[in-house]
Chain A
Amino acid sequence: MPAGTGEFRAGVDGGQFQVAPAEVLAALLGQEGNAGDVVLQLRLPRAIAGFACGGLLALAGALMQVLLRNPLADPYVLGISGGAGVGAMFAMLIGLPTLGIDGLAFLGALGAMFLVFGLAHGDGSWTQTRLLLTGVIVAAGCGALVALMLSIAPETKLRGMLFWLMGDLGQSAQWWPPLIALGVALVLTMPFARELNLLARGMMQAQALGVAVNRLRYAIFLLASLATAASVTTAGSIGFVGLIVPHLVRLATGNDQRLLLPASVLAGGSLLVLADTLARTLIAPQQLPVGVLTALIGVPVFLFLLSRQPK
């Protein structure tokens, strides 16, 4: 947790409009002022939303890696962000307000989730490979639809659409929905953490050791998908957090989900707040979409992890 607070401080202190740490403290304690407005109305909600989204993505990524028994899985691999992207692009194209964009993005994510579930589950086999392939194909289809809408979109809307696709915390209307989603997801996951450890070792082994495998897999799929949907709806498709963070945390905690899941939430949240702070300050007054920064940080870190010799 101390790590998390550090990132929060950076998140509320730094920015285009410089606020001294003392003023931040004053604002948080309820004193009025220009600086107080910036901190309380803009930066704190944004930092909270960022923390929640990062936590949701990292949690969903860790869960997807167990579900697919593939350390390279990320929250978007099953097409959830693609579906949300289609919904959001369509909403922007027809000129809906923020609430409409969020609503359609969430519906798109749900649509993709049920599509993948229905197709992968069609013949009852519900294997990791089938699930993965179905997800990848649905994601590809969504990508094509998004590209189609981008290509017919008028110039004036293009920038907003691109920012959404790259992932941007500036568009988040509310800070509390992702935070609540994060709390609920974590509370629902933790009781099953030891069963997830077994599931990661193989479906038959897990079942032989007393895990109700099918029920658990449905539950993880739903939970990870909804967590991803909540994050994507709030902040667009912020890449790499869900892939990298569980890996980095695994280096420190090992693969025990009882430690890995909560630690990933903290680390993912902190990373996203930090990245967002950088995104707002690096070339201020211009703001970058935070997804660009997480990808810029994520790619070299991931390549390093890949090339790292196993112990």
Chain B
Amino acid sequence: MIPALLETHQLAVDIGGRRVVNPLDLTLNTGERLAILGRNGAGKSTLLSTLAGLRQPATGCVLLGGEDSQLIAPRIAATRRAWLGQFQSDPFGSSVLETALTGRHPHLGRWDWESTRDAEIARSALQAVGLQGMEQRQIHTLSGGERQRLSIATLLTQAAPLYLLDEPLSHLDLNHQIAVLELFAGAARDCGAGVVMVLHDPALAHRFCDRALLIHGDGRTEIGTVNSILTAKNLSELYGYPLRQIEDGSRRCFIPE
């Protein structure tokens, strides 16, 4: 049996002594897409970095490909999951292509230099996010949205079977928001990738994910299919603001009252 891409057992997450996620059991298999929603400061990012193995769980464990994320060598972990962080600071200059190539690191030996094949992978990743022709640009000349797409391209070059995305849509215009979500939905459908993403728009979560995990910030979490869990009642309670649900065919959208 192939182990699940991601599994948690009795996972608890603390931020500064406050428990934000109480025992959570979660399994993500190939091709599945999970949205994480919650208020600011509810612990979405902290949970995501814990799922990536970048942070130690308070209790319980995270399994990446069947192995405890705290026990796998960082390099092996990097071939099992790709993590998109929320913040990029670039104190040193670098070109767009060089930055995209950093995703190849876990696939290269200690003395290897990036090959032409790696460069091809990076170029096609840049193309996938609409940054073709910008390979030689310096990263500090990019706009916020372009920088975000570059981070996503770097993630694609990493070629891991599981994507953990912390607000992948930040700084993106509407057109690129949908393009990025289509990209990951396609990766899940065609390549069997698992996708976990922190989103702020329940409508997009409903349209592009199979399941949703709501984080209330006091330890309570709810998980279920998007149809069952993304309802006006649940979301109004989650965000502490009344929302109205509007249906359009199979799509669902929520507007603040």
Q: Nearest A residue to B107 by beta-carbon distance? A: A210
Tell yes or no: B52 within 8 A of A by CB: yes
Question: Chain A 18-43, CB within 8 Å of chain B: the 1/0 string?
Answer: 00000000000000000000000000
Contact across chains for A194 and B105 when beta carbons are under 8 A apart:
yes
Interface window among A79-87, A90-98, A198-206: A198-206
Contacts of B77 in A (CB 8 A): 210
Return B59 CB to nearest CB of chain A, in Å. Answer: 19
Tell yes or no: A100 within 8 A of B by CB: no
Tally chain B residues at the interface, Cβ within 8 Å.
35
- Cβ < 8 Å to B, chain A residues 186-205: 191, 194-195, 197-198, 200-202, 204-205
Return A253 CB to nearest CB of chain B, in Å. Answer: 11
Return B207 CB to nearest CB of chain A, in Å. Answer: 27
- Cβ < 8 Å to A, chain B residues 78-96: 78-79, 82-83, 85, 88-95
Contacts of B94 in A (CB 8 A): 201, 254-255
Q: Choose among B89, B106, B110 the residue that contacts A202 (Cβ–Cβ < 8 A).
A: B89
Whether A209 touches B102, Cβ cut-off 8 Å, given contacts A202-B85, A204-B49, A311-B138, is yes
Return B72 CB to nearest CB of chain A, in Å. Answer: 10
Contact across chains for B105 and A210 when beta carbons are under 8 A apart:
yes
Q: Nearest A residue to B151 by beta-carbon distance? A: A205
Whether A209 touches B85, Cβ cut-off 8 Å, given contacts A255-B94, A310-B93, is no
Contacts of A213 in B (CB 8 A): 74
Tell yes or no: B108 within 8 A of A by CB: yes
Tell yes or no: B210 within 8 A of A by CB: no
Q: Choose among B75, B111, B138 the residue that contacts A210 (Cβ–Cβ < 8 A).
A: B75
Tell yes or no: A149 within 8 A of B by CB: no
Whether A254 touches B89, Cβ cut-off 8 Å, given contacts A194-B108, A204-B49, A207-B74, is no
Return A143 CB to nearest CB of chain B, in Å. Answer: 27
Question: Chain B 92-135, CB within 8 Å of chain A: the 1/0 string?
Answer: 11110011001101101011010000000000000000000000
Whether A198 touches B102, Cβ cut-off 8 Å, given contacts A191-B110, A254-B94, A310-B138, is yes
Contact across chains for B85 and A211 when beta carbons are under 8 A apart:
no
Contacts of B102 in A (CB 8 A): 197-198, 201, 205, 209
Tell yes or no: B158 within 8 A of A by CB: yes
- Cβ < 8 Å to B, chain A residues 110-167: none
Q: 5 more A-B contacts (CB under 8 A) besides A208-B54, A208-B82, A210-B78?
A: A191-B110, A205-B102, A209-B158, A212-B73, A250-B92
Q: Name A's B-contacting residues (CB within 8 A).
A: 65, 69-71, 191, 194-195, 197-198, 200-202, 204-205, 207-213, 250, 254-256, 258, 310-311
Nearest 4 Cβ contacts at the A-B interface? A210-B78, A210-B75, A210-B106, A208-B83
12 A-B pairs whose Cβ atoms sit less than 8 Å apart in the complex: A65-B92, A195-B105, A201-B102, A204-B85, A208-B78, A209-B78, A210-B74, A210-B78, A212-B73, A250-B93, A258-B113, A310-B141
